[in-house]
Chains A and B, each alone.
Chain A
Amino acid sequence: MSAAPGRSQASSHRSPQGEAPVSAALLDVENLCTSFFTEDGEVRSVDGVSLRLERGEVLGLVGESGSGKSVMGLSLMGLIDSPGKIVAGSIRLDGEELVGAPEHAMRRLRGPRLGMIFQDPLMSLNPVLRIETTLIETLLAHEFIDSATAHRRALAALTDVGIPSPAQRMRGYPHEMSGGMRQRVAIAAALLPGPQLLIADEPTTALDVTIQSQILHLLQNLVAARGLALIMISHDLSVVASLADRVAVMYAGRIVESGPVQQILSRPAHPYTRGLIHSAPVMSEPGTPLPQIRGAPPSPLGRPAGCAFAPRCDRASSSCTSMPALTDLHIGHAVRCWHPHLEARLPGIAA
């Protein structure tokens, strides 16, 4: 399914009575705008992003610094604090509106329905608390169970994420573990209340390559076993490629391309996506100059009017001074560009 470009498309899915349809998407984001009001002016980190996520689906959100992908994840969780604010748009989780929801309502959702893991697992794990305290605390906050049950469930959660000798590790502290193990515990903590949606913000960026693979493998298994919906935020297209069903590429606060992962990778339509794929070293003959995208991503403060990628684009023309809308190229494949590539990209170099 494509990312909804505007209200009109979303409403066409509704039943005639105007109620939410029976097979509603798990997550329905429409035209979300999140801004930070700093002393230098308003910084529009997320500028009109719409997307849909079905149950059990994995969506990859790819972007570089300044693209707004992390702010997007935090906005979904309702973790945007002053001076930031969601200024427009709607986020519907299973029909329930999250934008403007009071904090106590969000607290009911965070945990049992929505979970998040971060690049630094110490953002989820309090370094001065034992692992079991962190895990059990999370459970007791959301459910009325006795501590013995909570303890058993925590132990089971640690086993599920592949921690060796979990009973021992429960009594330990985060700093006694390696980065990879800490991330596993953070995943266990996020999944313990049984959420339907997990948001992972660069979970493997800070980890070594061999450990990264373990964590991705774990996430893949968890998604399959629990029917978990996952939003994987990363700057690395290859990480997303290996895990996601669909990909949305963000640039300067907007989605510039979205669609099924195979489609995006083999036929990238947006010059930025194409540039990203071609500039990866694995795609070129060793020793040759890499195809590069000139310039640098725009700072969130000084975004040009019109297409934000135009200054770096070889295909830019006078029409690029106005912002293109996200339009469908094929079923499910949408792109925001006046001059999208329609042909398949160059093949990569075989290993």
Chain B
Amino acid sequence: MTAHAEGLPVQDVALELRHVGKIFAQEPDWIARILRRLGVAIQDYRLVAVHDINLQIAPGEMVGLVGESGCGKSTLGRIAAGLRAPTSGEVSYKGVRVDAAGTRMPARERLKIQMVFQDPMASLNPRRRVGELIAEGAVYHGLWTRTEAAQRVADLLVEVGLDPSHAHRYPHQFSGGQRQRIAIAQALSVNPDVLVCDEPVAALDVSIQAQVLNLLMELRQRRNLTCLFISHDLAVIRHVCDRVAVMYLGRIVELAPARSIFEDAQHPYTRALLGEILRIDGGRRQFTPIQGELPSPLNPPSGCAFHPRCPKASAICASEAPPLQAQQGGWAVACHHPG
């Protein structure tokens, strides 16, 4: 199933997701149950956000998670970071179980996985000074003493490209790109090994996106970070990631090395996504969009979730969901008609 990291001993895998699933369900309350007995049709609210995800990330690797709305990538990111408990399956860091559903909560290991969020306006507490925000986690967990905190904060601010004398300012006094750098500094303060980035540049101006992407790439090299990079933008992922996992409606439909996915995408959905990358030097183009709407996770199509929109769909696609099958060259596809 896993391509790159398959067969590695458990301790050599930085982050592993095994059979991770997340279902949001609302049990009918007692009124609904009575109504149902009386014959009223009450719908069960059951949303399969993420279904049976298996992923192994090697240390120092940057894996991209790409997909559109409803594919579950944000939910998966939060499960990987330990912010949400998976309904099934588990997340391990270097062999130690760290997901939020685990009974033992090993604080030290869980601290090694940090997250950078999408909206820099919302990811910093507006009422605290920036220096305090960066230092809080490290001081709380005893990684820094109070006396050295100021110096450490200054060092981190320099590392992310900000002026260390601004540590006493409030978040609203910074621009969007600067706030994102502060959020990154905050995440780095506890010396994580794994960084989950949830659309870190989507909310930024175009001219600032390159700056933050460069910063992330540089930090990853310098600190040998392992990253899970979530984005809807395949162009960005291809540029910064080693491997790419394409998600559709809660499942991984293709897993491939980033360099080659542009040329050799096997899954029809990946092909469609690639076709959508509007090229700047392409000029006027004829669009050939794929038809149909993104299905709602509340009401997924039978069999392969992509079959209503797929140009290659056949009878088996409507009845059976294809499993993610490993192929050579570190590739994996979930399709009845790949290639």
Contacts and interface: CB of A to CB of B under 8 A. Distances in A.
Contact of A351 (B263, B273, B289): B263
Interface in A281-317: 281-284, 286-287, 289-294, 296-297
Interface in B213-229: 213-214, 217-218
B217 A286 contact: no
A239 B233 CA distance: 13
Given A287-B239, A293-B210, A238 B289 contact: no
B289 A213 contact: yes
Contacts of A11: none
Interface stretch (A41-49, A107-115, A190-198, A272-280): A272-280
Given A210-B294, A296-B177, A296-B178, A64 B205 contact: yes
Interface stretch (B18-26, B32-40, B112-120, B276-284): B276-284
A217 B281 contact: no
A interface residue count range (under 10 / 10 to 19 / 20 to 34 / 35 or more): 35 or more
B214 A290 contact: yes
B281 A265 contact: yes
Given A208-B294, A211-B293, A294-B211, A282 B235 contact: yes
Contacts of A220: 287
Nearest to B293: A178
Nearest to B178: A296
6 contacts: A178-B294, A213-B287, A242-B285, A281-B235, A290-B213, A296-B178
- 4 tightest A-B CB contacts, nearest first: A217-B287, A279-B210, A213-B289, A238-B278
Contact of A180 (B175, B205, B239, B293): B293
Q: Is the interface of B mostly helix, strand, loop or mixed?
A: helix
Nearest to A289: B214
Contacts of B288: 217
Contacts of B100: none
A92 to B, nearest CB: 28
B283 A210 contact: no
Given A180-B294, A220-B287, A292-B214, 6 more contacts: A65-B205, A210-B289, A217-B289, A241-B278, A279-B210, A281-B233
Contacts of A272: 207
A293 B208 CA distance: 7
A216 interface: yes
Given A209-B68, A209-B273, A286-B238, A265 B207 contact: no
